[in-house]
Structure 1
């Protein structure tokens, strides 16, 4: 029996704890971010142009991105480590399928997905295991399929002990774009576009969006 890494257990517990308040806080966030909507629109258009198919929202949280993609006409399924987040997602987006699962061991067959996105979802995985995530993404995305990432830019690790109105124990890791590009290439993706914007409002670091294609 494989022992789950401590950081995975801590991440699940943290998001189970904050699920309701997290969903409430971010419920209308996309409406105020034209950059987010633009990148999701480009991703959706590329998947449709390539023939369409199932898209995985990996680390979907309360389902707000999956719900938005479904509204754009995408066939989408959300996967999240936190059972409570999945409960909230199913309640708030009853027309979308959601499953409990780990990004390190996704519940999809090889090459099953036409596209996948990890929207601020790789940020809780330690540096030394992030390559494994990209390899798993490459396993489930078909050749020619698309991958969209969003993450905070930087090198520091932030330890959250209180967030969304709750005490918790959660580490978030900002990412170096050049290292993300290297990992994508090593996993079997080709970079197609990269966009970095400056912080807005309460954000403390630049935000990066990366579009890649499975080769």
Structure 2
């Protein structure tokens, strides 16, 4: 996979290295964050119910989803407790190392969203929790096509993101850790268009205002892979 470049920078390497630095701080600060967010738990619960119902309808066993951009694996326990098998993926080797430590036994590996290590239709669904917002516009068609390739027909993808006007920003620089990376605060319309072009239909979308410590509203979307 040829890395995306931005302003002469290797944006993929920059993103990977930044999240290597962020792995331990994320493990410390975000480990219990989901416990404090009933709205996000509710959306993830709805996703799990949809994925299980689709698996039951075709007479399959327990469904498996890819946690694409899993970070420290903080969502894995919640998904596993709801009967969903999880295969974690992250661009950052340090995030993967920490995820294996924090979630013993979790199937997790280093991977680029633009080249997923699954066969066609191998997954019942995918979680992209704050991971699609790092895709440049030129990388989005291929990445969304990869999601459509690996999620079986009738399966689901759930995503959370920072809502904005689709313009690029720099993330990480304000943390004082010597890191920086490109990030896009995406509009609902942009995400909807990308999913639909890849062969998904939006099943749910919603959002919430920014919390006092946040700079922007947060969005949530669940899309269903076409059934044929």
Q: TM-score, normalised by structure 1?
A: 0.95
Aligned counterparts, 1:12-161, within 5 A = 12-51=16-55, 52-155=62-165, 156-161=167-172
Tell me the distance in 2 between the aligned counterparts of 1:53 and 1:144: 12
Is the CA contact (8 Å cut-off) linking 2:153 and 2:225 kept in structure 1?
Answer: yes
1:10 and 2:14 correspond: yes
Q: TM-score, normalised by structure 2?
A: 0.90
CA gap 1:28/1:49 in 2 versus in 1, 3 angstroms: same
Is the CA contact (8 Å cut-off) linking 2:206 and 2:221 kept in structure 1?
Answer: yes
1:199 and 2:203 correspond: no
Q: Deviations over 1:109-151 (max 9, x none)?
A: 0000001010000111112221221111000000000110110
Tell me the distance in 2 between the aligned counterparts of 1:172 and 1:139: 25
Q: Deviations over 1:182-211 (max 9, x none)?
A: 111100001111011111231111111101
CA gap 1:209/1:161 in 2 versus in 1, 3 angstroms: closer
Q: Tell me which moved more, 47-56 or 159-168.
A: 159-168
> Structure 1, unaligned stretches of length 5 or more?
none
Q: How many residues align?
A: 214
* Runs ≥4 residues deviating over 6 A: none
Q: 1:102: how far off?
A: 0.6
When the two chains are superposed, the root-mean-square deviation of aligned CA atoms in Å is 1.4
Is the CA contact (8 Å cut-off) linking 1:81 and 1:102 kept in structure 2?
Answer: yes
Per the alignment, in what secondary structure is the counterpart of residue 168 of structure 1? coil
Is the CA contact (8 Å cut-off) linking 1:21 and 1:165 kept in structure 2?
Answer: no
> Structure 2, unaligned stretches of length 5 or more?
5-9, 56-61
Is the CA contact (8 Å cut-off) linking 1:120 and 1:150 kept in structure 2?
Answer: yes
Q: 1:164: how far off?
A: 5.3
Tell me the distance in 1 between the aligned counterparts of 2:163 and 2:70: 20
CA gap 1:207/1:161 in 2 versus in 1, 3 angstroms: closer
